[in-house]
């Protein structure tokens, strides 16, 4: 899945170990019932959380860089 996302210019989505059961259930629902909604909802939620983590890391890096520059 992440390979497809990256190939199309998107960021990979981190599916955590604690999401594994929900992830597998969503895949099974999509496969058996043709209902993609549970998978889409999980992926959207994980994408939002993953992007929030990226933003947090960037903010911290920026703040640290500013602190280093002010300390010079």
Rounded to whole angstroms, how far apart are CA atoms 5 and 68? 35
Segments making up each domain of the chain, as ranges: 2-71
To the nearest 10 degrees (0 to 180), the angle between helices 20-33 and 37-71 is 140
Indicate the DSSP class of residue 18: G
Token couple for 26: 């969503």
The pTM of the full predicted model, rounded to 2 decimals, is: 0.74
Given pLDDT bands bounded at 50, 70 and 90, which one contains residue 29? very high
Instruction: Look at residues 23, 18, 22 and name the one whose alpha carbon lies nearest to residue 2.
Output: 23
In this model, does residue 23 exceed pLDDT 80?
Answer: yes
Rounded to whole angstroms, how far apart are CA atoms 57 and 49? 12
pLDDT tens for each residue of 34-59: 999 999 999 999 989 988 999 999 99
What was the pLDDT predicted at 68? 84
pLDDT tens for each residue of 59-71: 999 999 988 888 7
């Amino acid at each position: 899945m992440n390979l497809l996302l990256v190939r199309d210019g998107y960021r990979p989505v981190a599916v955590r170990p604690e999401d594994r059961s929900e992830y597998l259930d969503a895949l099974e629902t999509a496969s058996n019932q043709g209902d993609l909604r549970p998978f889409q909802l999980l992926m959207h939620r994980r994408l939002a959380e993953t992007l929030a983590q990226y933003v947090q890391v960037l903010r911290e890096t920026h703040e640290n860089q500013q602190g280093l520059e002010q300390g010079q």
